[in-house]
């Protein structure tokens, strides 16, 4: 008698490929071998996700994928990217001898590879594109539900779809569901109900159902997504993809708070407390950061969360530029790209503005004026400078007031859990991914009619 697991495997859920075959030797020779393999697999899949760590060349893979789809389908392909990352795509295309056309409206579209910002997508008719790729697709969850739904609805009319982002937040299964829905594999709600159960002991937390623990979920994921942190995950050499050392420096400022109701408050207890402490200590924290940055001749990336923090830091750090929400898209783009190219040496901005997609390897020093509880936010802003391609050791300086201790302890705990889960996700998917990719081929079902069709008289 078959076991329940064997029965489930027979009923296995696997997304079928819908793309086309392509020979490795026809792909851009400037790509690494493992990048070519991923591009080929994505083309065969037709609709696929690339979950690769920062600096592994997701932009280049998207450009090559878009170029091949455009040629095969004889139509323009669109890449959607965060603000300023679109311009970065154009530069990357030039390095790899592929023209990438920067667009603001439908009138700017040209044959081949096109790119625009997410903020401008409403100005385009996506029925004109045989293919679309979402760069830094993990940010979809940061958009409003209406915008996320708009992107998913837009994608339904596009036959070829690609998503590219760093390894998704392991605790956020909804993010995986968003990707599955965008690609047309399965809706987010279907994914959760099929593979997960809502943990009643922790509202909003999902855990794998007992009967899918034996790699069934991961096998389903590996049929439409690749997850990797380095080339050796696919069996290739890591030469050139070994990160330099990173050093975290914590500066904990002594609290100057006066006692309230007869006692001292030793730590923040809720969101309102955190906001109050951040504002009370803004001057001290910003001055401490400015003293550090001004004493150095090197480039600096300074992260803040509050508008007043950014304004004060810009004032205290001579020669710095600020990128804030109040600035126009053109100003933001010019300043972010200027910093990335070394035109500006000191940048003050927020993670939600420049924390995704930008390549700031020109800099190796970052200062953070306090943290939030978001592990993903910290992961992303650290990875703007600590990524494959960075040749120097990286320094991350964190400035906090002592009452904010619970925040940094929370981030440390989340980081430990996240690293453990990413490691487990790679372990679970490594062999499945290698098998799926290295043996990738278009799945067709041959049909040989045996009987002549007979139509009813009324047709």
Q: Find the helix packing angle between 58-73 and 33-45, rounded to 10°.
A: 50
User: Which of left, alpha, beta for 291 (phi over 0: left; psi -120 to 50: alpha)?
Assistant: alpha
Q: Which two tokens stand for residue 441?
A: 């081929």
Residue 48 has pLDDT above 90, yes or no: yes
Calculate mean pLDDT across residues 416-437: 71
Terminal CA-CA length for the chain: 49
**φ, ψ for residue 114, nearest 5 deg:** -120, 155
Q: pLDDT tens across 171-221, in order?
A: 566 678 888 899 999 887 788 777 777 765 555 566 666 655 556 777 788
pLDDT tens digits along 226-282? 888 899 988 899 988 999 999 999 998 887 766 555 444 566 666 677 778 888 889
The answer, yes or no, to whether residue 456 has pLDDT greater than 80, is no
Q: Where are the alpha helices (DSSP H) in 11-100?
A: 33-45, 58-73, 85-95
Convert the pLDDT of each residue in 306-365 to its tens digit. 999 999 999 999 999 999 999 999 999 999 999 999 999 999 999 989 988 899 999 999
Q: Strands of 246-253's sheet, edge to edge? A: 246-253, 394-401, 365-368, 300-303, 346-349, 321-323
| Best CATH choice for the domain 246-412 from the list 3.40.630.10, 1.10.10.10, 3.40.50.300, 3.40.1390.10 | 3.40.50.300
Identify the pLDDT of residue 323. Answer: 97
**CA–CA separation, 13 and 185 (whole Å):** 10
Which class is domain 4-240?
alpha beta
- Spell out a b/e string for 177-207, using b for 16 or more CB atoms within 10 Å of the CB, else e: bbbbbbbbbbebeebbeebbeeeeeeeeebe
CA distances (Å), origin 13, targets 16, 218, 445: 9, 11, 17
- Residue carrying structure tokens 């790509």: 31
CATH 3.40.50.10810 range(s) for the chain read: 4-240
């Amino acid at each position: 008698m078959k076991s329940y697991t064997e029965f489930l495997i027979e009923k296995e859920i696997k997304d079928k490929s819908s793309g086309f075959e392509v020979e490795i030797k026809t792909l851009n020779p400037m790509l690494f071998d493992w990048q070519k393999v991923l591009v080929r697999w994505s083309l065969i899949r037709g609709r696929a996700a690339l979950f690769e760590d920062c600096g592994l060349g997701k932009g280049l893979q998207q450009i090559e994928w878009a170029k091949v789809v455009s040629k095969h389908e004889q139509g323009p392909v669109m890449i959607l990217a965060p603000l300023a990352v679109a311009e970065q795509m154009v530069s990357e295309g030039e390095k790899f001898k592929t023209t990438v056309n920067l667009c603001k409206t439908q009138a700017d579209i040209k044959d081949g590879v096109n790119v625009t910002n997410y903020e401008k997508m409403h100005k385009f008719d996506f029925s004109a594109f045989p293919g679309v790729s979402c760069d830094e697709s993990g940010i979809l969850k940061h958009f409003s539900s209406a915008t996320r739904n708009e992107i998913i609805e837009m994608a339904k009319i596009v036959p070829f779809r690609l998503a590219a982002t760093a390894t998704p937040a392991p605790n956020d299964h909804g993010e995986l569901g968003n990707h599955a829905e965008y690609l047309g594999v399965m809706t987010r709600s279907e994914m959760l109900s099929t593979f997960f159960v809502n943990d009643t002991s922790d509202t909003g937390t999902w855990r794998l159902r007992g009967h899918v623990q034996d790699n069934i979920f991961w096998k389903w994921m590996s049929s439409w997504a690749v997850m990797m942190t380095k080339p050796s995950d696919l069996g290739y050499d890591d030469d050139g993809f070994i990160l330099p050392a990173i050093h975290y420096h914590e500066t904990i400022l002594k609290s100057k708070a006066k006692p309230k109701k007869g006692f001292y408050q030793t730590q923040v207890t809720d969101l309102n407390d955190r906001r109050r402490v951040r504002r009370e200590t803004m001057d001290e924290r910003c001055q401490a950061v400015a003293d550090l940055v001004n004493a150095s001749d090197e480039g600096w990336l300074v992260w803040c969360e509050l508008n007043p923090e950014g304004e004060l830091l810009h004032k205290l750090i001579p020669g710095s530029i600020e990128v804030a929400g109040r600035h126009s898209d053109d100003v933001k783009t010019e300043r972010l790209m200027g910093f990335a190219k070394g035109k500006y040496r000191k940048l003050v901005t927020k993670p939600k503005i420049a924390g995704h997609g930008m390549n700031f390897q020109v800099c190796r020093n970052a200062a953070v004026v306090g943290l939030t509880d978001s592990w993903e936010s910290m992961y992303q802003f650290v990875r703007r400078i600590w990524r494959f391609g960075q040749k120097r050791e990286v320094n991350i300086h964190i400035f906090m007031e002592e009452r904010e201790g619970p925040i940094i302890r929370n981030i440390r705990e989340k980081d430990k859990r996240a690293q453990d889960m990413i490691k487990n996700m790679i372990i679970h998917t490594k062999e499945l991914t290698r098998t799926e990719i290295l043996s990738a081929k278009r799945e067709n079902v041959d049909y040989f009619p045996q009987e002549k069709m007979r139509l009813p008289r009324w047709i």
